[in-house]
A and B are shown apart, each in its own frame.
Chain A
Amino acid sequence: MKKMKARRLLSALTAAVLAVTSLTSCGSGEAAEAGSNMLYVYNWGEYIDEETIELFEEETGITVVYDEFETNEVMFPKIDANPSQYDVICPSDYMIARMIGEDLLEPLDWDNMPNAKNNIGEEYLLQAEGFDPGNVYSCPYTWGTVGILYDSSRVDEPVTSWDILWDPKYKDEILMQDSVRDLYTVPLKMLGYSLNTLDEQELREATDLLIEQKPLVQAYVVDEVRDKMIGGESIFGVIYSGEAEYTREENENLEYVIPEEGTNVWIDGWVVTKASRHKENAMKWIDFMCRPDIALMNFEYIYYSTPNVAAMELMDEELLENEVLFPDLSQYDNLEAFDYLGEEGDALYFEYWKEVKSS
């Protein structure tokens, strides 16, 4: 509980600082000399053990400027507008595909990254080929699913389907994701459609479902799902599997489930921007993140499933058997990764999403 308060205060402070720095941030990237020993890292919020950043700085003498984003959709326009602002970024699969398509990424120098080359499991690299054919541009950092986190002390029935999030008796006890693709995953899978659909009829149905659900929803949030669930603000929350394990440690009543209709399985990976002025440092960073001890530190801090098999070898048996962290995905035949939908596809989802939000 105490930790939660501290975290929230911290995020409030960060937001306050961000509000100030964002005004100047466009300039700050330029301010550093191209030759200086810097590295600009852009990662998801609370997605690293910050001690590893310090270790990296100590070992390499590189000064790291570390910034965070909340969704892929917030990250992309910033990079698009100012491609050299960050050197190394950690987007999700479909966003990596988009960035490859828009020629924003630099091929990774695998030969000089022994840890990255040797420690990432084959099956994850294979999965990553779905969005990065040949594993040219990205190095998997975490992977997971999207599912329902619920407070088992306040739910008597079994939770197996997404449709429990439409049950009026849980009014005001449901937290949905506030990013468009993650939100639409739920109704699309419920209806048995692909979560990459561009069929307007299917999107119409999904939108209508979300509008129908809106009165029951307490809030649409992203990172706050975790703290709110720990604090008992809500009974149900749609959440990334990685957040689930952390919340379960803080609140033992919480359970995570992958609904039977299927869901999104995703990979987040490190990429280097083409316009980066510190490419060598960026490669060093990625390799450092793949070192088994560092990968383990990060895993134990953020609890997102790691594709790093060398780090997994350092873990306890018990952890590896944890089904939330390392689910056996072969038992599901309806898991799907996001594809990049193209600018028009994104715009289509966005228009429907606005309709949900303004309803």
Chain B
Amino acid sequence: MNKNSKATLFLGLPYYLWAAFFIVIPLFMVVWYGLTDKTGAFTLANVLSIMRPAHMKALILSIVLSLGATVVCLLLAYPLCMFLVESQKKADSFLVMLLIVPMWMNFLLRTYAWQSILEKTGILNAFLNAIGLPSQHLINTPGGIILGMVYDFLPFMILPIYNALEKIDVNVVNAAHDLGANGTQTFTRVIFPLSLPGVISGITMVFVPALTTFVISSLLGGGKILLIGNVIEQEFTLAYDWHLGSGLSLVLLIFIILNIVVSTAFDRAEV
């Protein structure tokens, strides 16, 4: 037993080192910078600067857009996963594969591609005009950003839901039918509750990166849409105010932790 735990410790060593250097220490630095001013004295001013109108507007816009993207992802992913699970096993692994392939491409490149697709003289408008439809104006609007978020993060919603749905024993569904449940009842009382852990984890995996993104809003927002991620990025890269940037990051961290706490609570309740 003793020997065993030593071996385990040894196996875990690379992870502990990794976690210490690349997770714990950087996190500690963010907390330290966030709670001090330039002279090194303790202050809450950086965190409280979230109350400034410009920062608050950016935070609210980020929450609204990332919630929107999460909802759209969920509405797209859930039926798709139902379809994938129901469909033939052979075709199904190919379809799942198709969903994963885009993830292998660099995420920046894919977002740049959307820039070329959506812009005024872009690919999509050329196509729409060619078939006699009016142009769309998605680029540099909140809608364009949601589209970018959905495209980039959809796989993170699909995979956990798909896994959860796939694990549901067919016999459970059959039992529900045998006991007289109709299709809707089977879904609302059996399938959906059983898939909830996947849904919750999908929501977290989409909401958190969407809330913190600054690349999508820079590339598809034309510099007109300031998300909280952009504010933080600019504090670091342009204003060179690491204290303010870290303070705002702490605020964001609170939202992320909140999200994770809520989803674990759901998870526990369901299992």
**Which residues of A come within 8 Å of B, CB atoms?**
8, 12-13, 15-16, 19, 71, 73-74, 76-77, 80, 172, 178, 180, 214, 217-221, 228, 231-234, 346-347, 350-351, 354-355, 357-359
Bound Cα distance from A328 to B86, whole angstroms: 74
Give the docked Cα–Cα distance between A219 and B225 (Å): 9
**Do residues A354 and B231 form an inter-chain contact, with CB atoms below 8 A?**
yes
Tell me which of B55, B106, B140, B224 has the highest count of chain A C-beta atoms within 10 A of its own C-beta: B224
The chain B residue sitting closest to A13, CB to CB, is B109
- Measured in the bound complex, the distance between the Cα atoms of B137 and A13 in whole Å is 26
* A8-B116, A15-B112, A19-B108 known; A221-B223 Cβ under 8 A: yes
Q: Does B222 contact A (CB under 8 A)?
A: yes
Contacts of A178 on B, CB cut-off 8 Å? 223
Q: What 11 new A-B contacts, CB under 8 Å, besides A8-B112, A358-B57?
A: A19-B106, A73-B238, A77-B236, A219-B224, A233-B119, A347-B239, A354-B226, A357-B226, A358-B53, A358-B58, A358-B61
Complex interface: chain A residues within 8 A of B224 (CB): 214, 217, 219-220, 357
Once bound together, how far apart are the Cα atoms of A172 and B119, in whole Å?
A: 12
* B121 interface hit (Cβ, 8 Å): yes
The range of chain B's interface size is 20 to 34
Known contacts A8-B116, A355-B53, A74 near B238 by CB under 8 Å:
yes
Could you tell me the distance between the alpha carbons of A355 and B139 in the complex, rounded to whole angstroms?
Answer: 22
CA distance in complex: A71, B239 (Å): 12
Q: Name the residue on A nearest B215 (C-beta).
A: A19
Indicate if the CB atoms of B240 and A80 lie closer than 8 Å. yes
B54 within 8 A of A: yes
**Which one, B55, B61, B140, B241, contacts A219 given CB within 8 A?**
B140
What are 16 A-B interface contacts by the 8 Å CB criterion? Answer: A16-B106, A16-B108, A71-B238, A74-B237, A76-B240, A77-B240, A178-B223, A218-B140, A220-B223, A220-B224, A221-B222, A234-B120, A354-B54, A355-B53, A355-B54, A357-B224
The smallest beta-carbon distance between B226 and chain A, in angstroms, is 4
8 Å CB contacts to A: which residues of B132-183? Answer: 137, 139-140
Query: CA A346 – CA B119 in complex, angstroms?
Result: 33
Give chain B nearest CB distance to A21 CB in angstroms. 13
Distance from A261 Cβ to chain B, minimum over Cβ atoms (Å):
24
Q: Using an 8 Å CB-CB cutoff, how does the interface string of B106-123 with A read, 1 for contact, 0 for none?
A: 101100110010011100
Find chain A residues with CB under 8 A from B237 CB. Answer: 73-74, 77
Q: Given the complex of chains A and B, what is the CA–CA distance between A180 and B239 in angstroms?
A: 11
The 4 closest A-B pairs by CB, nearest first: A219-B222, A220-B223, A12-B112, A358-B54
Asked if A358 meets B121 with Cβ closer than 8 Å, knowing A12-B112, A19-B108, A218-B140, the reply is no
Find the residue from A77, A234, A351, A358 having the highest chain B CB count within 10 A: A358
Bound complex: CA A357 to CA B57 (Å): 10
Contacts of B241 in A (CB 8 A): 347
Whether A350 pairs with B222 at a CB distance below 8 angstroms is no
Q: Could you tell me if B108 and A12 are in contact, using CB atoms closer than 8 angstroms? A: yes
Most buried by B among A12, A15, A73, A178: A12
Cβ contacts under 8 Å, B61 to chain A: 358
Measured CA separation A351–B234 after assembly (Å): 11
User: B116 — which chain A residues lie within 8 A by C-beta?
Assistant: 8
Chain B residues positioned under 8 Å from A180 (CB to CB)? 238
Contacts of A350 in B (CB 8 A): 234, 238-239
User: Does B240 contact A220, Cβ atoms closer than 8 Å?
Assistant: no
A350–B112 Cα distance when bound, in Å, is 27
In Å, the complex CA distance between A73 and B223 comes to 16
Complex Cα–Cα for A76 and B106 (A): 28
Q: Is the CB of B223 within 8 A of A12?
A: no
Closest CB of chain B to A199's CB: distance in Å? 21
Residues of B near A8 (CB, < 8 A) are 112, 116
A219 touches B223 (CB 8 A): yes
How far is B260's CA from A180's CA once the two chains are assembled, in angstroms? Answer: 37
In the bound complex, what is the Cα–Cα distance between A19 and B214 (angstroms)?
A: 13
Given contacts A233-B120, A354-B54, is CB(A220)–CB(B222) below 8 Å? yes
B7 CB, min distance to chain A CBs, angstroms? 33
User: Which of B116, B226, B239: most chain A CB closer than 10 A?
Assistant: B239
Contact A172 B137 (CB under 8 A): yes
Cα A219 to Cα B119 with chains together (Å): 11
Question: In the complex, A219 Cα to B234 Cα: how many Å?
Answer: 17
CB-defined contacts of A172 to chain B, threshold 8 Å: 120, 137
